[in-house]
Chains A and B, each alone.
Chain A
Amino acid sequence: MKSTYRDDFKIEGYHFGSGEKTACIVGPMRGDEVQQQYICSQIVRELQAIEAKGGIADGKSILVIPSCNPSSMNVGRRFWAMDGTDINRMFPGYDKGETTQRIAAAVFKSLEGFKYGMQLASFYVPGEFVPHIRMLRTGYEDIKSAELFGMPYVTTREPLPFDTTLLNYNWQIWNTSAFSVYAGQTDSIDVEDSRLATEAVLRFLSGIGAIDYSLTIPGYESLTLNEENLVTLTAHHAGIYVRKRKAGDMVKAGEVLATILHPYDGHVLEEIRCEQDGIVFFSHHRPLVLQNALLYKVVV
């Protein structure tokens, strides 16, 4: 697609192997998903090395689209810069519609017919996660296959009305087993979490027999959770947020996970505690909090 003054907008794909459309991997749709960008680049690098050694299974093909939105990332905008729309809220797309609907339609068409689809995704609430695989409960979700990633957790949740426009939802409706891969954070790169996510994708590809790969990190036996069952901790006060526990940490019942301080005199407005022992699944990580903000999700 041409732009009025910028260089042409292009979405590039990397193909590996040939034959049956086995798996596709989709990178950032939003301009701040740099962690996801980094992971994609690592997956492509590994797959190139595997292919060079003849490690892509006969008759199987893999497609990686490292970015659906280079244009927004280049200007530091999360959404499509011209009109503020979110490509990941435009699926299955419409090739005669608005710009981002057309982009979604083109992406969706190139992904059509793949057996497995993986999206490197981010969450709309600012914070960091324990690496996990997320699925919407559409009735088509494939939990058994999700365990092949060997990520610590697999989560499922009920789709909301708004979710029917997500890639993950539409993939499932159109017979692709869809997984959203969540790797720690979004707007900065954590090399260790990225390595975990890259390995998880390769472990999955090896698990479904698409590649021949010897893993460097052992996988987890995934725990499957309903997101609705996580314990959520919210802020009763707004203020300065000082975090003591982050995603992946074990917490004891009654322990202080974070404090909220008065922004002018520094006295403690609130201590955030979890009533049960557990593991931090999600943690807010901005220095200020609003009243009622979601601070933690804990697996108990």
Chain B
Amino acid sequence: MIKTIVNTELPLAERLLVRKNVISHGNGKKRFCIVTGTHGDELEGQMVCYEMARLVQQNIDKLDGTVEIYPSLNPLGIDTIQRGIPNFDLDMNRIFPGSEHGTMAEQTAFRICEDLKGADMVLDIHSSNLYLRESPQVRINVLNEKELVPMAEHLGVDFIWVHDAATVLEATLAHSLNSTGTPCLVVEMGVGQRINHGMCNHLVEGIFNLMKEMGMWTGDVKEMQSGIVCKGDHVEFLNAECSGVFLTELRTGINVTKGQSIGQIVNALTGEILSDVKSPVDGFLFTIRAYPIVYEGSLMARIYHA
């Protein structure tokens, strides 16, 4: 059943609509929500939502409970290929839990948050941005480590990153939900504006696995490997030491050794190599730059080391 949770006027003959698909079966009371599209240029979640909506409905007798699919929290952003909300300079993931009587953006955030509250699991799917390609990973605030890491392990992602609490992250959807008792896992994978089928299909299998674990799914699921759980200071950030064109052939999700070449920053005018980027550690490469132009400071890679 399609429900509209946000419905506000735009100036000319149009309404802003945020919709969800509610799929229920059996007597189970558990509710699993899959949300995506907070950032309008991140599209990996589109295929995950499609596959979930398709597979759950095709195998509806295996469901015991409710699956809710929210493919587009920021429909105007998706339509205009923008990360933020058109007409506002704000990142939607910095205004949660929103406000009931605020601006259009704040009211939208408020209604989304209210609608999700009380779910047994919310999965918020992001796909990095235009600049970085990410291995499938779950990011968890250290404050919620105890409850969320065991749940995340069933998703079968490569990497579970338990990060420090930062004040600026208090206005994210995940933080707003987790701090009011609704568990929310943030998935980051792939790259902005593109869809990686392999990663999406793998995450769909992971979601069914987690649903089975939660007692909501009786269908067959694939055995999931639990990935690396990273806590504390075990990630090396490789930032560009100069501006130029970053060339690499590496993909994420591979092990690298200390001193191994990650790529080069080159000067296309002179033909020089400006910087030979090498891994400072033996470790697991889970982020690699996808957009080639770099400024001094631009992130090129992230490597986990034990």
Contacts and interface: CB of A to CB of B under 8 A. Distances in A.
A binds B: yes
Interface in A280-299: 288-294
A191 interface: no
B11 A2 contact: no
Interface in B91-119: 94, 101-104, 107
B168 A164 contact: yes
Which of B88, B295, B297, B299 has the most CB atoms of chain A within a 10 A radius of its CB? B295
Contacts of A86: 89
A237 interface: yes
A160 B102 CA distance: 14
B11 A102 contact: no
A263 B13 contact: yes
B171 A82 contact: no
Nearest to A290: B104
By size class, the interface of chain A is: 35 or more
A99 B297 contact: yes
A192 interface: no
B126 to A, nearest CB: 16
A3 B295 contact: yes
Interface in B213-240: 237, 239
Interface string A96-108: 1111111000000
Nearest to A79: B89
A288 B168 contact: no
Given A99-B296, A291-B8, A292-B8, A2 B168 contact: no
Given A164-B168, A290-B87, A292-B8, A97 B297 contact: yes
B11 A288 contact: yes
A293 B295 CA distance: 37
A255 B107 CA distance: 28
Secondary structure class of chain A's binding surface, majority of residues: loop
A239 B295 contact: no
A100 to B, nearest CB: 8
A289 B11 contact: yes
A34 interface: no
B107 to A, nearest CB: 6
Nearest to B295: A99
Interface stretch (B26-34, B154-162, B242-250): B242-250
A1 B296 contact: yes
Given A3-B295, A82-B298, A98-B239, A164 B167 contact: yes
A96 B280 CA distance: 15
Interface string B1-31: 0000000111111000000000000000000
Interface string A143-157: 000000000000000
A238 interface: yes
Interface string B107-141: 10000000000000000000001010000000000
23 contacts: A1-B243, A1-B296, A2-B243, A4-B295, A78-B89, A79-B89, A82-B295, A83-B131, A96-B237, A97-B239, A101-B297, A102-B297, A124-B88, A124-B90, A161-B167, A161-B171, A164-B168, A234-B101, A238-B10, A238-B11, A239-B9, A290-B87, A292-B101
Given A4-B293, A99-B296, 11 more contacts: A4-B244, A4-B267, A82-B298, A83-B298, A162-B168, A165-B168, A239-B11, A240-B11, A263-B12, A290-B11, A291-B10
Interface of B: 8-13, 83, 87-90, 94, 101-104, 107, 129, 131, 167-171, 237, 239, 242-245, 267, 293-299
Chain A to chain B: the 3 pairs with minimum beta-carbon distance, closest first: A161-B170, A99-B297, A238-B9
